Amino acid sequence: MQKVREYLKQILFFIHQHVLILGLAGIGVVVTALLTFSFFKFSSVFVSAPVPQVVEVPEFSPSPTPPPDPLRPYSVLLLGYGGGTHEGGSLTDTMLLVYVVPREQRATLFSIPRDLWVELPTSEAEKKWSKINAAFAIGNDDSKYPDKPEQFSGMGGGGRMAKAVVSEILGIEVDYFAAINFAGFVSAYDSLGDISVYVPVTFDDEFYPIEGLENETCDKSEEDITALTATMSGYKLEQEFTCRYEKLHFDAGLQVMDGETALKFVRSRHSEQHGGDFGRSQRQQALLAAVKNKLFTPAGLLQLIPTALRMTNYVQTDVTPEKIKEIITTHEGLSEYELSTVRLTDDKGDDILKQTYSADGQYILVPTSGQGDWTSVREFFIQEVTKQ
């Protein structure tokens, strides 16, 4: 019993110090820690790469390999997706790379825009140009993409594909991923009871999608729809089908939110006052702070383990139990870590990305140096994040 108490003490310390660093999708890592150190079933959350075929090789005497440095820099790709049964439910709304440098006691949140135009390995023979937010969805869809490379198939294939693509554009090897189904998060969120969330800016969003109405015609004829889709795409096309959307309004200040309201709060994209990736990331951080504050109340602590168990149905990660234990036992001064945020954007001052349209009319972001040339992106990442 004393050992269990000590494990729980370590868990609470870990959550308290990491919850804001890891971000919303990083709740998967917290759940992993809870399951590992509380002796609950772990296999439903942790996913590993496919086991390669055994190949016989000649015997030899290798030289001793030094153990890996527990304080070496590492990265975690955080993925948040909407879930649900509609098409596009596995597209990632949130892609955030956490780059941690333990020796320097710093962590950087590197935001990756969902509209980045990249090549995705849809089969062994070819790659397909697509928005980066489709990497997780394609990797998870073995029926539609049966000819994908083996490492991107099966459980965790989506996370591994997203890691591979982000590794390619940033020029580093991404170590881990953690993905959370936002729709499923509602259940766990509601188990904590009323939560007060600080809304940083009063905002409206007149085009928040309604589950199940994605293909409503809104009283338009087939001819009307054909004409519209031939001349419009993206947000402009969405605005022509108002019946598919509901209007949202949030007042600045503390607001009590249930799970459904919280989900709308963090996923809203089209507000003129607080839209885009920057607005959403700020709101996600506000929600995380509220959840953390709720957890560390007497009522919240009582719901800690039940909440974690609910989350196991909605989380995937390849952060190993060994890595969780390593972080807990070797990382000192976690409360003193310097946390910074870097966004990969089309800001004219950075001269890294530019807005354009794909051949089929999609709004996309490509490097200013040319489609598929990631040199400037990699240099920006090294300068802003690794500080080499």
Q: What pLDDT sits at residue 191?
A: 81
Please answer whether residues 283 and 229 qualify as being in contact, where contact means their C-beta atoms are separated by less than 8 angstroms.
no
pLDDT per residue rounded down to tens, the chain (388 residues): 454 445 444 544 444 444 433 444 444 444 444 444 333 334 456 676 675 555 455 555 566 666 777 788 899 998 988 776 556 778 888 888 989 888 888 888 888 988 899 999 999 888 999 999 999 999 999 999 999 999 999 989 999 999 999 999 999 999 999 898 876 677 778 888 888 999 999 999 998 888 888 888 889 888 888 888 877 766 778 888 889 899 999 999 999 999 889 888 988 888 888 877 667 777 877 887 788 778 777 776 677 667 766 667 778 888 887 877 777 777 776 667 787 778 787 665 567 898 888 888 888 899 998 999 999 999 999 988 876 5
pLDDT in the model for residue 58: 52
Domains within the chain, CATH numbers bracketed: 2-48+71-187+303-386 (3.30.420.590), 192-295 (3.40.630)
* pLDDT of res. 134: 94
pLDDT of residue 132: 95
Global pTM reads 0.73
pLDDT value at residue 173: 94
pLDDT at 25: 40
